[in-house]
Amino acid sequence: MARIKRIFIYGFLIISSIVSIFPFLWMIVSSTNKSSDVTQGKLLPGSFLGQNVSNLFNSIDLVPALLNSAKISITTTVLALLIGSLAGYGFEIYRSRAKDIVFNILLLSMMIPFAALMVPLYRMFASVSQTAPFIGIDTAASVILPTVTTAFLIFFFRQSTKMFPRDMLEAGRMDGLSELGLFVRIYMPTMKTTYAAAAIITFMSSWNNYMWPLIVLQSPENKTIPLLISNLGSSYAPDYGVIMTAIVIATIPTALVFFLMQKHFVAGMMGSVK
Amino acid sequence: MKVARSGMSIQAKTNAIGWSFISVAVIMICVFYFYPMVQALILSLQSGRGMNLQFVGLDNYVRLFTDSMFIAAVKNTFIYLIVQVPIMIILGLFISVLLNDSRLKFKGFFRTAIFLPCVTSLVAYSVIFKYLFAADGLVNTMLMKVSIISAPIQWITDPFWAKITIIIAITWRWTGYNMIFYLSALQNIDNSIYEAARIDGASAFKQFFQITIPLLKPIILFTSITSTIGTLQLFDEVMNITGGGPGNATTSISQYIYNLSFKYTPDFGYAATVSYAIVVLIVIFSVLQFKAAGDRNG
């Protein structure tokens, strides 16, 4: 009886793991095969990786898309962390009744689905396109601005700040640090792991963001990686090998972030439940 | 007395500094969340093409109930919700209970493998699933090889199977994500509770329903609310796997808003009305789930 149970448990977990990993393996294997082999269901690695990579770099604007994605994701992450941590710190350390009310109002914004915002946001950016072209439609700024401040991140930093030893601030004040100095010199270095977790969440969601860039980024040279992959995926005569190679390359940054910082990644997820 | 001369006490000064710290975030959220919501409300009372809009009162809201495309999108979204969310939560719970067994070997491998789908971007995995589930794709080829089916299933082009494909895809992507939440909650449960139950002769089945589920209730509530909100906003998968088709068999509400604004001749007013419908649905579902959890408590 116990033995049957064990076989069942391991069997179930092994099947779940195979199902979870299989699309990855298929994607990686397919990136080394030519298109006709992929459609014929070849499951063994081939020798077409080099060919696929060079096709990708020559016929498709992968590099500009990678650079656009990198520029947008890194800027978003840096700004989001600064704005979010400063606010989370401000709400917790300088706590007052009025600020708590403001905090609760900000949390309401978490209930607003992005689909409800896209139309008015699009009109907002379209209307400033004439007077301020650098933040209008089709700019990196128009992608970054609406996504850079989230109530979630403020909430996340505020929750983490509850654990922050306040005595350190008093000591800093004695040393003559200004209030901003306390934040930069004492709080930021102490909260490294919180920043790491927040950076992972923000970078991942920015790198993978699809809906809003699809709406605002219109010219081909401004497209980000998800837009490029979506375009490739819907083409009429897809070159499967090349597309799989593109997806592998696009997944490398997030996979790296995940494997290098798995602990922080999970810590970040858990931060949303506290 | 220096302080008095400057006109502000230390306390008032630090309070003001506190406000300045939160000011950027408050302004940004007002500009990019609350102001657009007000704009959307005003827009939802208008109709017209492109930027030529006229006030039509509540006409748009009336139109919702007779709009067959909107009704189809709501129906699809509800099917995803009712079928997919429970399957994913039960599967996630089940796997996490198996993984929480201290005698289990290769625990780290199983956990990482099952969590791995969360690393992919929604667009990337959607494209992979589209190819896997194509009529001549790998899934059909394999099913036919082992003789489970004799003719290829039209995973993408049949209205019924297309919905199943979307449901399979979302379940693949998010089960591991939810599992991690349950797993970390399970690790906080004191093992002695289970030992006591075992001594009392409670079966594993009974332990699961009478100890694990009640203790995990807050986290199950959390994951079911986030999954519901996520499903109501479903967009990337539908756009990239089926494109909403065949016909409107898989269109989601978010995709319908996108189509109304950016694919068809833009009708921003009506699109804003549909977007308020999502907001209302999210609020209703969140309240319902909170209530359901609360009632079971009492």
Distance of alpha carbon A40 from alpha carbon A133, whole angstroms? 49
B284–chain A Cβ distance below 8 A for any pair: no
Q: Which domain holds residue B37?
A: 2-43
CATH number at residue B133: 1.10.3720.10
Q: Which of A111, A226, A273 sits opposite B121 (nearest CB)?
A: A226
pLDDT of B1: 40
* B51 located within any domain: no
Q: Is residue B124 part of a domain?
A: yes
Overall average pLDDT of the B239-246 stretch:
88
pLDDT given for residue A273 in this prediction: 60
pLDDT digits (tens, 9 = 90+) for A220-241: 889 999 999 998 888 777 788 8
B75 and B191, same structural domain? yes
Distance CA A119, CA B276 (A): 11
Q: What is the pLDDT of residues B18-44, one digit of tens each?
A: 999 999 999 999 999 999 999 999 999
User: How many domains does chain B fold into?
Assistant: 2
Q: Do both B163 and B267 map to the same domain?
A: yes
Q: How many CB pairs under 8 A join A and B?
A: 233
How many Å separate Cα B183 from the centre of its chain?
20
Q: Which residue of A has its CA nearest to B19?
A: A90
Q: Other C-beta atoms within 10 Å of B31: how many?
A: 15
Low-confidence ranges of chain A (pLDDT < 70): 268, 271-274
Q: Which two tokens stand for residue B125?
A: 């995995």
B21 and B168 together in one domain: no
| Stronger pLDDT, A262 or B243, i.e. the higher one | B243
- B230 in the same domain as B131: yes
Q: Where are the domains of chain A?
A: 61-269
In this prediction, residue B140 carries a pLDDT of 86
Residue B3: pLDDT above 60?
Answer: no
Clarify whether residues B12 and B90 are in a common domain: no
Give a yes or no: residue B52 inside a domain.
no
B7 against A203, higher pLDDT: A203
pLDDT given for residue B275 in this prediction: 92
Please give the DSSP secondary-structure letter assigned to residue B249: S
Asked whether residue B243 falls in the same domain as residue B279, the answer is: yes
B111 falls within a domain: yes
ipTM for the complex shown: 0.88
DSSP state of A137: T
Residue B271 is predicted with a pLDDT of: 92
CB-based contact A106 B26, cutoff 8 Å? yes
Q: Could you tell me if A216 and A143 are in contact, meaning their C-beta atoms sit under 8 angstroms apart?
A: yes
pLDDT at residue B2, rounded to an integer:
44
The pTM score is: 0.87
pLDDT level of residue B296 (50, 70, 90 thresholds): low
Higher pLDDT, A65 or B289: A65
Inter-chain residue contact A86 with B219, CB threshold 8 Å: no
Q: Indicate if the alpha-carbon torsion angle B237, B241, B242, B243 is positive or negative.
A: positive
What CATH number belongs to A61-269? 1.10.3720.10
pLDDT digits (tens, 9 = 90+) for B117-135: 988 889 999 999 998 998 8
Nearest to A247 among B99, B128, B177 (CB): B128
Q: Are residues B11 and B98 in the same domain?
A: no
The whole-number pLDDT of residue A272 equals 59
Nearest by CB to A116, which of B28, B37, B138? B37
B129 and chain A: CB distance < 8 Å anywhere?
yes
Q: Are B124 and B242 members of one domain?
A: yes
Q: What is the pLDDT of residues B52-98, one digit of tens each?
A: 778 888 888 989 899 999 999 999 999 999 999 999 999 999 999 99
Summarize pLDDT for B248-281 with one digit per residue, the tens: 889 999 999 999 988 888 888 999 999 999 888 8
- Residue B123 to chain A, least CA–CA distance (Å): 6
